[in-house]
Structure 1
Amino acid sequence: MTATANRQWTLRTGRISLRVHRRTAWVAAALVVLCLGIVLASLLSGQYAISLPDVFRALGGHGTLQQRYFVNDVRLPRVLVALLVGAALAVSGAIFQSLSANPLGSPDIVGFNSGASAGALVCLVLLRDSSLLGTGIGAVAGGGVVAVLVYLLAYRGGVSGYRLILVGVGINALLGAGIAYLLSRADLNDSLNAQIWLVGSLNGRGWDQVRLLAVVLVFVLPLAFALSRALLTLEIGEEPAIALGLAVGRVRRWAIVVSVVLSAAAIICAGPISFVALAAPQAARRLARSAGPSLVISALMGAALLALADLLAQRLIAGTQLPVGVATLVLGGLYLGWLLAGEVRKGRT
């Protein structure tokens, strides 16, 4: 390992050489420590008090039956789902923000999440299928249809980032009306359950959701990381990217597919949680001071943000567990206002 200009490390093993920026490495390490701290706090906190030694005993399969149940079957899968959903949403948002070259570009702003939500809602309300397979198929189908529709409507001899966002915002509004109509036509119990799901919640999440998210991330994240260099090239502009030999259309199509799959997986397991995909990639860029989409830092930032938001939602009001979607809406609304104010100051809106 060698240092280069005191700003990055170069790791060499045989024919393999890897450059790691120092600041990025330190930020990643800090976020990993933060995530571990949030996991430990989540395992310790709750109405059923468990001490730190008892938590570790329960994780090792020892301790009382109640301790093993609350630690291994209730609290641990919930916080793991929060981490994995946050990572999936953040990477999806980072890809789309890079693709649109706009910090406002996010799957929950331009309609991809609404499409996935509408597809899952059709299964929940109309088909009465609440299984992971049924809602999964509905979410992927809905998100895919909206992605294709937005891409086709925004295409005019090429795809402009601002045009993509404007078309997506319009589609998002139409989907919101469609979702409201579905809820109005559903039975009262189905409508109430669907509305709770639409807020976004981690209540009752278990190992089935953890396994589903883990499988999706294992297969999809390598594709996302493989696209990062191409997305960085695309941010300099479409014509320069083409001049450098980049297959812009193919990169965009694969980026949208990866973004939709990650968003759909998150929605299947936790509902349409808002603003994590918007805020986490921008916070990651500012911390890492990276020029392009820092997908690893974005994933860690999204995981930490959502797990922390869920912990606060559970413990902020004594005796009341708020859905995590409420906490992210409050935090995300404040962040969106700050971001829009910054865009206005720059004269970009």
Structure 2
Amino acid sequence: MTATTNPTGTAIAAPGVAAALRRNRQRRAGRSVVVTGALTVTVAALFVLTMMVGSFRIGAGEVIASVLHLSDNPSVDFVVRGLRLPTASSALAVGLALGASGTIFQQVLRNPLASPDFVGITSGAGLTAVTGIVIFQVSGLLVSGLALGGAIVAALLMYVLAWRDGVSGYRFILIGIGVAVFFDGLVGYVLSRAQLFEARQAMHWLTGSVGQASTTELRLLLGALVVLLPIALMLQRPLQALELGDDAARTLGTRTELSRAALLGTAVVLVALAVAVAGPIAFVALVAGPIANRLLGPATGGIPAAALVGAALLLSADLVAVHLLPTPLPTGVVTGAVGAPYLLWLLATTNRQGAGG
């Protein structure tokens, strides 16, 4: 017998069922803590390793002491703080932002293919950035500002076009794909009108690289992460309710459209700032959430875990792009080479399961 009724006739759970549910929650919470802790250690190790390797090799202790200002060694400090720390910090911050934003998109829209890469946000950033480089000959912080504005405008455009007494995830994704194709066509047209130097500069930005951010851009992203990641964590509960469907979420007391708008707005700002710092690095936002869910098991949907997976992926990709290939390449080349086969596998398995449309 799994349930009894009280004098008013309302069903209540039997003590054994309540205890089993409590143990299940504890196991899920314990696994989430262990996985998140392990990912934190992995990201920290990759962060230090990024600053150790290179033509001038430095020990882990020296790197940590230099970053924390625990020693005074001018040559080590110059290499670590002046040359390698900005790139490592950029990879860490961009990876955290892409991982968190990607899993929010996938959970809100309830589709593993719902990534900022494919729903027009990064395409909007790319169009405005390339237009600035080619037509207005701007560079540096102005390119990042244009990319940020383009990503936000693209997201607002898709939200307005997808609105029909609310936003459906299926409709949002279809409109996003159409907007992305339209923007990519405009990017191709702008590039066709560019001089060789401008086209090369624009293509380098479009490929994405964590080593091209200025100090101002990086500080802006780090500041945004300090504010937006806690907001995303506070929105975790309505996010889990939205995964059950709008009717179930309303039954649980969730204001569906307000919660969806807040979650999508947080994710859009995160990915827009990440693209402004490093360019449209492909596939990190797409794969971070599913990898985190595999690690979490029953405790799926953790935003911190997905953010840490994104950081680990981008730090690893930067190490491979700079140090393991015959010629150093932009980080986006490595993430694209790894992410494309994953996308094909995801498309095949999704359609086989009957969820691919």
Please state if 1:284 is matched with 2:302: no
Residues 241, 248 of structure 1: 8 Å contact kept: yes
2:119 corresponds to? 110
Change (3 A) 1:136 1:314: closer
1:85 corresponds to? 94
The letter of the residue matching 1:168 is G
1:55 corresponds to? 63
Give 2:30's match in structure 1, choosing from 11, 22, 28.
Answer: 22
The letter of the residue matching 2:332 is G
The letter of the residue matching 1:125 is V
Please state if 1:240 is matched with 2:240: no
Please state if 1:299 is matched with 2:317: no
Q: Secondary structure at the match of 2:209?
A: coil
Name whichever of 231-240 and 138-147 sits farther off. 138-147
1:249 corresponds to? 257
TM alignment of 1:166-181, pairs within 5 A: 166-181=174-189
Distance 1:255 1:74 in 2: 36
Please state if 1:335 is matched with 2:336: no
Please state if 1:197 is matched with 2:205: yes
The letter of the residue matching 2:146 is G
For residues 116-144 of structure 1, what are the alpha-carbon distances to aligned partners after superposition, in whole Å with 9 as ceiling and x for unaligned? 22223333333333232x33432232122
Residues 148, 275 of structure 2: 8 Å contact kept: no
Residues 96, 308 of structure 2: 8 Å contact kept: yes
In the superposition, the TM-score normalised over structure 2's length comes to: 0.87
Please state if 1:95 is matched with 2:104: yes
Give 2:228's match in structure 1, choosing from 220, 225, 229.
Answer: 220
Residues 81, 209 of structure 1: 8 Å contact kept: no
Task: Give 5+ residue unaligned stretches, structure 1.
Answer: 10-19
Q: Secondary structure at the match of 1:272?
A: coil
Residues 49, 60 of structure 2: 8 Å contact kept: no
Q: Secondary structure at the match of 1:342?
A: helix
Deviation of residue 232 (structure 1)? Answer: 1.0
Name whichever of 321-330 and 151-160 sits farther off. 151-160
Q: Secondary structure at the match of 1:105?
A: coil
Change (3 A) 1:184 1:291: same
The letter of the residue matching 1:118 is L
For residues 46-93 of structure 1, what are the alpha-carbon distances to aligned partners after superposition, in whole Å with 9 as ceiling and x for unaligned? 122234454345443646543222111111221111011011011111
The letter of the residue matching 1:8 is Q
Distance 1:36 1:124 in 2: 35
Name whichever of 166-175 and 249-258 sits farther off. 249-258
Measured on the aligned residues, the alpha-carbon RMSD in Å equals: 2.1
Distance 1:195 1:290 in 2: 41
Deviation of residue 100 (structure 1)? Answer: 0.7
Residues 116, 138 of structure 1: 8 Å contact kept: yes
Q: Give me the identity figure in percent.
A: 40
Q: Secondary structure at the match of 2:114?
A: coil
Please state if 1:128 is matched with 2:137: yes
Please state if 1:5 is matched with 2:23: yes
Distance 1:346 1:56 in 2: 47
Distance 2:128 2:298 in 1: 35
Deviation of residue 156 (structure 1)? Answer: 2.9
2:8 corresponds to? none
The letter of the residue matching 2:353 is K
Task: Give 5+ residue unaligned stretches, structure 2.
Answer: 1-21
2:75 corresponds to? 66
Distance 2:234 2:198 in 1: 41
In the superposition, the TM-score normalised over structure 1's length comes to: 0.89
Residues 310, 324 of structure 1: 8 Å contact kept: yes
